[in-house]
Amino acid sequence: MRIFFYTLAMTMAAAWWQEASAFSVMPGGHQLPKFAGGRQVGSALTQAAMVVTGTSKLGKALKKPTGALTVGFEAASSLTSLGDSDLITLSLTLRKNKASAIFCDPAVVAAIAKEQAKAKGNFPGPCPVISLGGVTDEEELAKVQSTGANGVVFSVAKLGHDTVASLAEAAAAKGMDAVWEVASEEEAKAAVEAGAKVILVSASTSVAAAIREVVPKEVVAVARVESMQQGANEVTDARSLKAAGFNSVMLSEACVGDKEDAVYAKWAVEALTSKQSKEFKITGMTGHVNGHYGTGTFEKSQAEVVWLRKTY
């Protein structure tokens, strides 16, 4: 029996070596397959995908090895209306509720980054703090870095591909993550060819799914999803996007500075990552939640959740 398994292992190793010899080495040790005649195959997009090396720090936070969806939150500029203690509490709440990242308006990056930094070495550790725009040149990039941001979102539509490529390179040199915001297949392909490791797709669910198809799985993909939708439809959107291959979602305008910020963050992470159906029950929450008052535990299906902030 030992001889049988040994022979099998040697045969498989020989087959692997023969297959590997059909590849040519690219810079960085990556390889492209050849046809029998020796010509390399693969489009520019395929080649770009193969030279994406490693995963960024942000990418590791957004993409779980298990394949589970992660949930990030947008922190809007209106949070500046909060006092320091309230903003610190919100930042702490997002971390404890397992936010994958906090995408901040530049106006609130410094305060949230400062609070998150205090969690270094603790569990849970700091959430990555990403500046949502606010950078159009290297001088502004340096200012954002000084606020403690771990990365920056660069919009291809607003800045243009060449500018984003240049700023992404500058960000990498500073040890910051660059997130390419795209809204079409063409923008996504160009981002991949330029070496993007993380993309933020701002488009409808159906368009986002089509964009994901042209982006290699090695590139971490985040989809922008509207928060507090009627009928809790962000749950449906998130599951469709996960099925399409997205690693994470960013809930837009999730945190604006009102009393529903913290409650929504807890609900959203549980609802969007639950394996149960859309009608699963929410339990264990007390007091004033989503317009429901009470002093004990209550149960409501997601379809019945109503957020006071919204007028549906």
Mean local confidence (pLDDT), 38-49: 40
Mean local confidence (pLDDT), 105-113: 96
In the prediction, which pLDDT does 256 show?
A: 97
Mean local confidence (pLDDT), 258-286: 76
- Whole-number mean pLDDT of the chain? 81
In the prediction, which pLDDT does 55 show?
A: 58
Which tens digits make up the pLDDT trace of 141-155?
Answer: 999 999 999 999 999
In the prediction, which pLDDT does 276 show?
A: 61
Residues 176/152, Cβ–Cβ less than 8 Å: yes
More confident residue, 251 or 36: 251
Whether 297 has a pLDDT exceeding 60, the answer reads no
pTM of the model: 0.77
The mean-pLDDT minimum among 47-56, 100-109, 203-212, 260-269 falls in 47-56
Whether 31 has a pLDDT exceeding 70, the answer reads no
The mean-pLDDT minimum among 31-40, 92-101, 126-135, 212-221 falls in 31-40
Under the banding of pLDDT at 50, 70 and 90, the label for residue 57 is: confident
